[in-house]
Structure 1
Amino acid sequence: MVKIAFNSALAQKALQGKEAGLASEKDPEAAVGDLSSSNQGATGKCVLTLLGLAFILTGAIVGAACLYRYYTPKRLYHGAMQFSEVSSGAAVERQPYYLPRVEEEVEISDNMATIKVPPPRFAQGDPAYILHDFQKKLTAYLDLTLRTCFVIPLNTSVVLPPQDLMDLFMQLMSGSFRSYLVQEDLVVTERVDDVTEMGFYIRRLCEGKDTYRMQRRSDLTGGGIHKRSVEECFTIRHFENTFVTETKICKA
């Protein structure tokens, strides 16, 4: 006599498989429902993936545009002016055979102009960066010797708008321009602890440096009468119009 034995675990799995097959044959709608739920889940994942890729691509495009706008090199224009002193409203040459010369480079865009003033060769004056933000209506002077920033409202009656400033430098690139000198007297009024409110360009120029606000001496109460002997002053000779400006900045 031969005895035949079955593994109970295998027999149970086979029985469960047969029952599942019979259930699906008896209820085809349940099988279709399971397949539909699976397809919906896959579709939802695809939609979320596409949305995520779209957001990433949009962010990359916007970031690239910002980097191109703010960090790509712009064209520099070089110009020079020879000037004579102004006395009694008329230009008078102190030396008949020699006129001082001011040179600078400017980077111009639609809303901003940055002027680089190198150290003068034969005259007084400090090297500086001068930034005119035409959108914020502010001008910032960065003294390269002191590594200090000074900010004042943009003088639109003197500083040429971007296109006119570009036209001026295009003329100056063909040779030196003969002009005259005018003076302005600026006084430091208060320290600036946060430069972020002054816009992107000035923040980029002045961040991490001592920064101060200024006023024109003539606009101060009392006509700007101060003890100049105790003031610390320096001078920047530059141009942003058809004449040279000697800007004197004093710290009390």
Structure 2
Amino acid sequence: IYDRAGIALSAAKHDMVYSRLARRLRAGGDRTFADYLARLERGDEQEWETFINSLTTNLTSFFREAHHFELFAKYLKGVTERRPIKVWCSASSTGEEPYSIAMTAVEAYNRFDIPVQIVASDLDTNVLEQGRRGVYALERIEKLSRERVAKFFLKGTGSQEGYARVRPELQKLITFTRINLLDARWPIQGPLDVIFCRNVMIYFDKPTQYAILKKFMPLLREDGVMFAGHSESFLHATDLFRSLGRTMYERADGRR
């Protein structure tokens, strides 16, 4: 799993890994862990994908770490050039984060027709599909203001009662795609204005984090910003990124 996805699993994760491996054994009809490992080593790509998906936790919510979206809105309002603004949400999970980015941008411009392009990526194909659909149980949006719900969601009726769908005008601002941050090449073209890489680096050891940050840096504009999770620190990569406070970063050679 480390070689495939860069995920570093400590001994503290033993019970979680055991539980999720056991589910895969039952689902695939393997009798022992050795049998399951042999299947993976034979190159069962579909099972590798399912296995990796099962080990990644997708804890997310709309406007999680809300101060980042306030800072993002401020960044947008500070762009005076007439040009497309490119944003990469590199750990999009089930879509709440990229849709929060899109809502923030629409509110900043006060219209849906905005010059903002958002790429939302994740390693987990299942959560990407959820994000593409843009359908959420009502309890997932209950903490949003009534104004935001009315502006950005359509509530279901009949068989869809209890769910809400993101409005098409918001969906069209986002492109969902699968990206493994460990891949040698990413289907991402810079320069990017903003990178959201929140609560994913915690899965990686320091050398892997550094390697990813080293690839982020040339993709980001010299005056661009990157947002990280509240529990993440990049003191080991100060030659690449400089903290602006509140888990917002700029390139170490940036010119903000």
TM-score band (shorter)?
Answer: under 0.3
**TM-score normalised by the chain length of structure 1:** 0.23
Give 1 or 2: higher helix fraction. Answer: 2
The structure with the greater share of residues assigned to strand is 1
Scaled by the length of structure 2, the TM-score of the pair is 0.23
